[in-house]
Structure 1
Amino acid sequence: MNRLVLSAQLVERGAMRYTPAGLPALDLKLQHESTVTEDGSPRQVSMEIKALGIGAITQHLSALALGSSGTFAGFLATARNGRGLLFHVTALDHSTNESQV
């Protein structure tokens, strides 16, 4: 199963673009910070991840203010350039909007 759920803050959003199939697409950068337990010891985790929304989710992502936090869900795939991973966002649960797609 390829499923990722991440609590994160929206730190960057590109301009709306369209796929060759005509679907709206938004490039994003998400930032996550938390404390997790690894082998019984606490560990600080801080990361930025590139993300992409395609289709109906772009309406919700474009309405989300920069700096806003939410729970982003989706899957991981190879980036378009074949280097690294890209988080494809398919659902958003925003704390003040409570919208689920």
Structure 2
Amino acid sequence: MQLAANKGFATEKVLNLHEISHSLEFYANGRLVRNDDGRQRKFQGVSEVIEFVKRNGGERVLVVLPLDRVSEMNVDSIEPTFIADNGALALYAVRVR
């Protein structure tokens, strides 16, 4: 998250795609998208991310997803910017086109 902040992505909402990263409770506290029960929301696909962004004013978001799923970021309807990975998860800034 510090790398994201250093690149100008310090305030964006943080979404978990396909997997919950509990370490984000520390690193992205206050920015995580949650379910009504307060638990971190797990998005099941890029289409859910797009829907969330559109319903929430079209603002750019940060998306955390497993490295083996990064190919899902290659769709025409989003503009992904790779920020970093930790060997297991990748972090992208995502804007809907």
Larger relative helix fraction:
2
TM norm structure 1: 0.31
TM norm structure 2: 0.32
Structure showing greater Rg: 1
Larger relative strand fraction:
1
